[in-house]
A and B are shown apart, each in its own frame.
Chain A
């Protein structure tokens, strides 16, 4: 059984300003097996974040079904951990309180929360910053808290919406390496939205390239590359050339669409 199953997903937005309807996702079928690391890649506006939000339960499809571990999704839940583009930590809670927030919701005592948070604090290398508030953290550290918070849920599925997009290049590389090592140790299914081909190739076990709007899956590519990934190897660049060609084509089609509608 697939960990995540998207069946015949269609999403139509009402564009109130123009009084029209906008088809953003056009019959997407996608199934992700357990323990896969799927990177969703596509030109901006192709609906990749919308797909992710549907798996998370924040948005609903106009038609089609989303199921996780065989159960149809009706709303957000702790079986799917989400890491947002901005860390979205509670600014009034310190690092360990943020990481253990789900345990507070479950009615656990402060000492239980503190104890349960510690392994995750160590995992994302935030030892010594347990009592810092989000305003005292750098962007990279805040994002680590966001990842630890999602991992503590021990979810079957982890969803990530361009979590490293706002980080500087050096921090981004470190975080990517850590994420891969956490995923390898932890096991679990990851869906990772990105617009960077390199990031997708460094992280993913599979890459799904989407078309321009209305979004469909253009090609699902299984990456047969050894880890740690070597971004200078000929195989890596072979994949990169192929995916870049797809994305260039889609971007050109998107521009042509805009020109035709103007």
Chain B
């Protein structure tokens, strides 16, 4: 019964969500709030179950389709995020390291950065049509800049003496980049990657509402047209859950890669 013990030890975490959900259930059931505007959690769960497992056909066309919707959203996030992470790290390291790259490329990027990714939707649809591509493009735009900015910052704040130490040991410039600058910048790069995964989900859902005909965001917006707020909330929760899981996965990779930071940094006060 290990899991029971661990739940008991971590009960602090559950108090607030459990109270909130109970209060919401009571409010909806008592008729204080019209059930059509805010369905009770139990109603949401029943619809969600049908969306996932096709239990009672209450979600009609969506019944049993959850895994496809979740997968198509996840794939868009994954594709756009992977492109953004790769190009953001590569370009960020180059901008941080070489002055001439900074001078030639950075001003252009800084002018594009304040343009909200969402405002690219019309152009994205014209260029890529209604399908995966505009969503991936938007995800890329949203995830690219946090990764880029943090990679630049990480490279620029590398301790100069570490570079001196490496060159004293005979490191070439490419070795300094690979064995000193990149590992030294990783904590900052991971901070960017975690911000970026949040933007990535935000933009997938936005794109699916407007420019794609599948995915969790599409179901969310479609259910709104049919006044199925139980499904809207189920979709919101699904997106939140997937966002949480992907962030957790990145955190896991991060704690593996940055294990050397333990004992060197504040890990959060106990009391």
Which residues of A does B touch, CB under 8 Å? Answer: 56, 58, 75-78, 80-82, 84, 86, 88-94, 101-102, 104-106, 133, 135-136, 149-150, 153
Contacts and interface: CB of A to CB of B under 8 A. Distances in A.
Contacts of B180: 90
Contacts of A101: 166, 169, 179
Q: 4 nearest interchain CB pairs?
A: A135-B264, A78-B170, A102-B169, A76-B167
B169 A91 contact: no
Interface in B165-221: 165-172, 175, 179-180, 183-184, 186
B181 to A, nearest CB: 11
Given A91-B260, A135-B260, A105 B168 contact: no
Interface stretch (B26-34, B156-164, B246-254): B156-164
A44 to B, nearest CB: 19
A58 B164 contact: yes
Nearest to A56: B168
Most A-side CB within 10 Å, residue of B161, B165, B260, B264: B165
B265 to A, nearest CB: 8
B268 interface: no
19 contacts: A56-B168, A58-B164, A58-B167, A76-B167, A76-B168, A77-B170, A82-B165, A82-B168, A84-B161, A84-B164, A88-B165, A90-B180, A90-B183, A91-B184, A91-B261, A92-B186, A101-B179, A105-B172, A135-B260
A170 to B, nearest CB: 24
Contacts of A104: 179
Interface of B: 159, 161-162, 164-172, 175, 179-180, 183-184, 186, 258, 260-264
A92 B170 CA distance: 19
A30 B200 CA distance: 62
Contact of B171 (A58, A80, A105): A105
A86 B161 contact: yes
B175 A105 contact: yes
B184 to A, nearest CB: 8
A230 to B, nearest CB: 35
Given A90-B183, A133-B260, A102 B170 contact: yes
Contact of A88 (B159, B171, B172): B159
A90 B162 contact: yes
Nearest to A93: B260
Given A86-B161, A91-B264, A135-B264, A80 B175 contact: no
A149 B166 CA distance: 11
Contacts of A106: 170
Nearest to A98: B165
A237 to B, nearest CB: 37
Contacts of A84: 161, 164-165
Nearest to A153: B169
Contact of A135 (B172, B179, B263): B263
A237 B128 CA distance: 84
Contacts of B261: 91, 135
Contacts of B184: 90-92
Nearest to A53: B164
Contacts of A150: 168
Given A82-B165, A102-B170, 11 more contacts: A75-B167, A76-B167, A88-B161, A88-B162, A92-B258, A101-B179, A135-B260, A135-B264, A136-B263, A149-B165, A149-B169
B5 to A, nearest CB: 31
Nearest to B176: A105
A105 B173 CA distance: 11
B168 A80 contact: yes
Contact of B164 (A88, A149, A153): A88
Contacts of A82: 164-165, 168
A104 B261 CA distance: 22
Contacts of B263: 133, 135-136
Nearest to B169: A102
Contacts of A105: 166, 169-172, 175, 179
B183 to A, nearest CB: 5
A81 B162 contact: no
A84 to B, nearest CB: 6
A105 B163 CA distance: 13
A77 B159 CA distance: 19
Contacts of B169: 78, 101-102, 105, 149, 153
